[in-house]
Amino acid sequence: MASTAGYIISSSCHHVIDDQHWLAGVYPQFAVPYFIYDVYAMFLCHRHRGRVKGHEVAPPPPLRVALVSYLRKDLLMVLHHAAMVLVCFPVATLWRQGKGDFFLGCLLMAELSTPFVCLGKVLILYRRQHTALHKLNAVALLLTFLLCRLLLFPYLYWAYGRQRGLPLLRVPSTLPPTYNLAAAALLAPQLYWFLLICRGAWRLFRAPPPPRPPP
């Protein structure tokens, strides 16, 4: 849904600064409850996995212990979701003052890789990590993450430079430092996650096929 909304917004804005689309004002308000819910849902899943061992269900750990363990494991994701609610939402709805809908639409299209992340986890849960579908999904995840989350940032600089008649390499120096810092802050976790994805894909394609059962 985010990618579809992002494509509609960005493709409707020919002027990357001044053109507007109504979805750019509505979709962030729709998305914020998702990030809040997702943090809570991830905590419930983490706590449940900690209780289930084999077919036995252990007593629930104290809430404080489960919360500390959850934050240690998923701190980066929690910080990402918190930043989306506490920083990106006010920027998208208030600070922009109706400017830059094109850029917001492009950033929403970064979510195109998310279904492939989820499908990969589902296949692993069902022990289908050695199937052709899992390998095809890994390739799709690598491509969509590279295009929509990493190369997205050079594209945004290029689109701004084209609008202003500037070459790509001159664009960062013409922007306020806070803009470049914000882009770097958004890009940094994407680079980290992409390295993890590459490492997982390397292991997947290097792994020997499972032994065949005897006839």
Residues of the chain short of pLDDT 70, as ranges, are 52-58, 60, 207-215
- Among 38, 73, 97, the domain-final residue is 97
Q: Does a structural domain hold residue 13?
A: no
At residue 77, the pLDDT reads 86
Q: How many CA atoms lie within 13 A of 37 on its CB side?
A: 5
* 3-class SS letters over 98-131: CCCHHHHHHHHHHHHHHHHHHHHHHHHHCCCCCC
Q: Give the tokens for residue 4.
A: 């579809």
At residue 73, the pLDDT reads 87
188 and 139 fall within a common domain: yes
Q: 185: domain range?
A: 111-207
115 and 85 fall within a common domain: no
At residue 56, the pLDDT reads 56
Q: Does a structural domain hold residue 16?
A: no
At residue 147, the pLDDT reads 94
Question: Which residue type occupies 203?
Answer: R
135 and 197 fall within a common domain: yes
* 3-class secondary-structure state, position 53: strand
Q: Does a structural domain hold residue 53?
A: yes
> What is the model's pTM?
0.81
Q: Does a structural domain hold residue 154?
A: yes
At residue 55, the pLDDT reads 52
Question: Which residue type occupies 79?
Answer: L
